Amino acid sequence: MKPLEACQLYTFVDTAYLVGRDPVDIARQLCDGGSDLIQIRAKNLAEDEVRRMAERVVPVVRQAGVGLVINDHWAVAAEVGADFCHLGQEDFFDAGHRRSSDLFASGVRPRLGLSSHAPEQARMAMEAGADYIAIGPVYATGTKPGARPVTLDYVRWARRHVAVPWFAIGGINLDTLESVLEAGAERVCVVSALLNTANIRAACETLRRRLPPLSESPRQDAPRC
């Protein structure tokens, strides 16, 4: 996969939106459409089922040079050789972890992505050694129906203060993308706006073309951890 710093479009194989479709075909369309990272998110499946799905998706992303993220299941991410595992605040900090090294076992390990919903959570994630941070949900989203939107104010804060790669997430589609970019986001996560379309590859290509080139200069006031 390309370096994390160069990744802009983060997409999902989310079982809540498969509606009978093959996750391997969804992953292939996302790869062909220009995804940089693909997360397997399967809140309704047992760990063994997530593992089997991941094992089927791995050859597709590897051939395409796309990074693979496993949501929630650190052991699965390690076993299938995923590039990242993504955890929520409750899965990391509430589970008693304080540093990413708390999760490491011998051998190959995935890198860590953490969700955040407020500046203090982003600061904690950076201090914990997260490789990337998700900033959101920016807008109300069916993916997280009970989550309160963090609004564009949090995106603007992240632009000034977050020193690791970060992705805006939540309710991002072709109608909201421009506002998110204007607020300072350069990387985005997109779920339903792609998975609810009949032609995922074409929708992904369209969104990809709307993303501007990454800026080369780091945030001047972002603390390094």
Phi-psi map region of 86: left, alpha, beta (phi>0 left; psi -120 to 50 alpha): beta
How far is Cα 48 from Cα 133, in angstroms, rounded to an integer? 27
Give the phi and the psi of residue 75 in degrees, each rounded to 5.
-65, -40
Q: What is the chain's mean pLDDT, rounded?
A: 92
Class of domain 4-209 (CATH, top level): alpha beta
Percent of the chain at pLDDT > 90 equals 82
**Half-sphere exposure for 44 (CA within 13 Å, toward CB):** 7
Instruction: In the chain, count H helices and then E strands.
Output: 9, 8
How far is Cα 224 from Cα 162, in angstroms, rounded to an integer? 9
Using one digit for the tens of pLDDT, what is the confidence trace for 154-201?
999 999 999 999 999 999 999 999 999 999 999 999 999 999 999 999
Closest CA to 15 of 7, 27, 29: 27
Sign of CA dihedral 147, 20, 24, 206: negative
Q: Which amino acid is at 12?
A: F
Element (H, E) at 27: helix 23-32
> Is pLDDT at 205 greater than 60 in this prediction?
yes
What are the boundaries of each domain within the chain? Answer: 4-209
Model pTM? Answer: 0.93
Q: What six digits make up the tokens of 77?
A: 């991410």
Percent of the chain at pLDDT > 70 equals 93
CB neighbour burial string for 165-177, b if at least 16 within 10 angstroms, e if fewer: bbbbbbbbbeebb
Give the position of tokens 């009949």.
198
Q: Residue 13 pairs with which residues in a beta bridge?
A: 40
